[in-house]
Structures are given as C-alpha cells and as structure tokens.
Structure 1
C-alpha cells in the first residue's frame, strides 16, 4: 500500500458522507451460511479509523470481526471501537493473505491504494468459506477534477520531480467489467455497479478539506519536510478547485462516483 501519513481526524471530518457508500454496499451483501461449530468470521481490509468496521458488528453481532490496516495512526484511532468480538491488526494489503477461513471479507475505499489488487483476489477467495462473500467499494472518479487537477499540477515543472511518482493514476481502479470478469472467472456469483453521489459540502474550501483526508495524503506526506512547498502546492491546488467546484448558497456540490462489487463464493 502507499506509504502515506494518514490523519484520522481529517478523514473523519466528512465521516457521514464517506460512510454512506459502505452502508449501501453492506445492504447488498448476503448473510453467509451459518456454521454451528464456530462463529462467523469477518475481515475488513483497510479499516481506517474503525468507524465503518463497527457497522459490521451491528450487522453480525455474534461474529468475530478483525479490521486490518497499514496505518498505525488509523489503527490507534480504531482501538476505540475494539471489544470482545471486534479487534484490529496491522496488515499490508499488498501481501496480506487469510491465515484462517473467513465468511465475509469486505473492503471500503482502500483497494485503490493497493497496486495489483486484482492479483490478490484468488488468495483472498481461497480463504473464504463456501457460500461466503467478498465485497468492496472504491472511488471510480480518477478522471474527476479533484484528481485530474492534482495530477496536472503535479506534472508542472515546479512539482514534477517531487510528486509525479506519488500521485494515483488511471490504473489504480479498473473498469467495472474488469472486476466482474475477474470475479466471475474465479467462480463467484458477482454483482458490480457504480453510483454517483452528489455530496453537498459546507464550509470554506470544502472540496480541498475533503481531499486532504484522502487523495492529497501522498502529496502532503512527500512534502512534509518542506512546509513552504507544502503550503505553496496546497494553495495552487485550492485555487484550481475553487473554479472547478464553485460554492452555492446551500453549499458546494462534490459529485463522487464509486464502484461496488459483491462476489459470493460458490457453495
């Protein structure tokens, strides 16, 4: 996964908007077959600060649930949700494979940070019990202004040498048909769809505030040792976002397309 320094407080500033896609995903995840010999086992890959992992405990209160994340900052925040059936552990999703059998494996807005994640699907599905579900959602808007403008700015002479290698590019998320084909060929009954949310954000420069918690993190990390440059890039990017996402009396609209997949392993 990308080596960025994550800020849980910044990420959670838009927690309601960010959690809604996970709720929509979870509504389409079927209950796995019950095994009277053991409790359900659930993994959340890229659990972040743990707030949506806790939603899994509401859905399956008797299950043993583990949230995995690469960020120590996020895991520290997530510990507030830990309990008898819910825990958190460090994992790099570029190398993680199930060490036990899971009934449900979910991932919320994390796989876009995992290069080659399609190649991980066979091992993850091998760790899934028959009839179990693998479900994820990822941003599907790499062509949207908030990403395109960041890449264009990062590719200018002032920033190219320092930032070109840290920005997400078009291949970080694949087309819906690619995920459908890969999961179907692995023997899963698969449902893939996209949804565009129109978030109405409040406050000054709310789109910049949003992206500071996610897509801008690699830039902020790369420039962390140079506060002046970090501030200069942020100011240039802010001005571009103001033109792309003008405010209205009721707030600023951020259209945000997401891709969802639910794959049920054959029984």
Structure 2
C-alpha cells in the first residue's frame, strides 16, 4: 500500500529537521538565480527560506504527497507549489545523463532535502538531476545517513518478525550512501563537488520522543502497512525498545542523527 505523509506529525520537530536544510543552502554560491526548485519540498516551510534567500527568483516547491502540498499552499508563501514525482520530473525534458532539450526545462538552483533516500536506485538518477540544471548552476541535496542506528534497526527487526512480516515486507524503506560515493559520481559528471557529513545530537523532550520522531518519517510506511489489530502492539513494543536504546536524561533524550550533504556546481 502507498503510505501517506502527515504534515502535522512531520513538523513536530520542525526546528531540528530544518537545521540541515539551512546549513545545506548556506553552501550554495548562487548570487542571482532566475529559477529555483525544491524537489521534495514537504510542507513548504523550508521552501519559503529559498524565496527569502533569492527574492528575485521564481521559486517552485514540488512533492509527491498531495497532503504535503496542500499544507504548503495553505501557508501562503511566495512560492509556487505542485504535486510531482521526482523520477518523472527528472525525465521531463531530459534523458539519462544528457542535458534537458530546451532552456525552459533547466533551473539555476536545484535543492532536494531529505528526499532522495526514499527513491530506490537514486544514485543512478544523479545524472538526470544534473541534466536539469543550467551549466554553471547548483545542485544541492541532503540525505540521512543513520540507517544503522537503533531508531531504524529496531523497526526493521521488529517488522521482520511474526505476525508483522507478512504486512511489512514490501513497505518503502529509506537508504543512502556515504558522501564519498556521491562525490565520486557527481565528479564523474563534471561537477565541482563539496560533500560532507554531520552528526547532530538532538535533545528531545516529551513522551517517547524518538518514536514521535521516527513515526513521522522513516517508520511511517511500516506503521501504516499494519492492520489496526496489530499496530497497537507493534507500537508499544517499538516504544519499549526505543526507550531502552535512547535513555532518558534529566535534560531529555539524545538522538544522534548523521546526515550527508552534497553541493555540486554543474560544468559550464
């Protein structure tokens, strides 16, 4: 079954989720771009920052989730929002590693924040994404790199057992590569690449905060795939194991979160 995103749940930790976006965009050297696209814009709260950064640009936010785009449009930002699948957007006007066929297909700045990890085989899409950027333009993306952490391995191990496996075996699961892999692939395409990683130590508060975090992102497809009569038990055991893996301190619960950043300048 196709999962649906919940903008309110996703925005529970909006500040923590937004910080990598801000740090990614800060490394983009574009001065006065004409067209800026946020591919996988979610609820649009961060896309609005692109309009602030480049007030003279035409800024567009695209996401495959109608729920996210509905929320983004309701915010009334100075941005055009639309529903679009990343893979289809890549193929519009360009094929493979070739540049888009007309200038109208090209953008000056392409940003994709915490999205590519949901696209299987996204490494092979990098050529097409670069092909949608004007020569000398900028392509920047950020993906999580924490898939070996308990927040993911606990969900994976629990979902693989009975009685859950028959419902969860085909759910969407995010994945990414190390920064050196992205650097090598984009450099082979002629780009000048700045790639790095950062591990944030998010201090979370509230009841079962790590579960609240992952239930809005990485664990959401799994939770939605479970029938109602199994979901409650799954969630309770998931929470119990997360509490053991991420203990409560007097100042909150620490969630280490590794993220991968890439900023590429396309060849002139």
TM-score normalised by structure 2 residue count: 0.91
Distance in 2 separating the partners of 1:204 and 1:45: 32
Describe the superposition over 1:35-73 as per-residue Cα deviations: whole angstroms up to 9, x where unpaired.
Answer: xxxx61011011000001011011101110111101011
Residue 138 of structure 1 aligns with which residue? 143
Give the unaligned 5+ runs of structure 2: 94-104
Which secondary structure does the structure 1 equivalent of 2:253 belong to? strand
Instruction: Please tell me whether residue 122 in structure 1 is matched to residue 127 in structure 2.
Output: yes
Instruction: Please tell me whether residue 25 in structure 1 is matched to residue 56 in structure 2.
Output: no
Residue 259 of structure 1 aligns with which residue? 260
Question: Cα distance, 1:252 vs. partner?
Answer: 0.5
The answer (yes or no) to whether the contact 1:46–1:107 under 8 Å persists in 2 is yes
Give the unaligned 5+ runs of structure 1: none
Describe the superposition over 1:139-162 as per-residue Cα deviations: whole angstroms up to 9, x where unpaired.
Answer: 000000000110010111221121
Distance in 1 separating the partners of 2:75 and 2:34: 19
Describe the superposition over 1:217-249 as per-residue Cα deviations: whole angstroms up to 9, x where unpaired.
Answer: 1012212xx222111111111110000001111
Question: Cα distance, 1:212 vs. partner?
Answer: 1.1
Distance in 1 separating the partners of 2:170 and 2:248: 32
The answer (yes or no) to whether the contact 2:164–2:230 under 8 Å persists in 1 is no
Question: Cα distance, 1:3 vs. partner?
Answer: 2.9
Residue range with higher mean Cα deviation, 155-164 or 252-261: 155-164
Which secondary structure does the structure 1 equivalent of 2:49 belong to? helix
The answer (yes or no) to whether the contact 1:94–1:115 under 8 Å persists in 2 is no
Distance in 2 separating the partners of 1:249 and 1:167: 35
| Candidates 157, 160, 168, aligned match of 1:152 | 157
Residue 90 of structure 1 aligns with which residue? 83
Question: Cα distance, 1:202 vs. partner?
Answer: 0.7
| Candidates 209, 222, 233, aligned match of 1:219 | 222
Question: Cα distance, 1:95 vs. partner?
Answer: 2.3
Question: Cα distance, 1:94 vs. partner?
Answer: 2.5
Distance in 1 separating the partners of 2:54 and 2:178: 31
Written as runs of structure 1 = structure 2, the 5 A alignment for 1:50-69 is: 50-69=44-63
Residue 168 of structure 2 aligns with which residue? 163
The answer (yes or no) to whether the contact 1:196–1:255 under 8 Å persists in 2 is yes
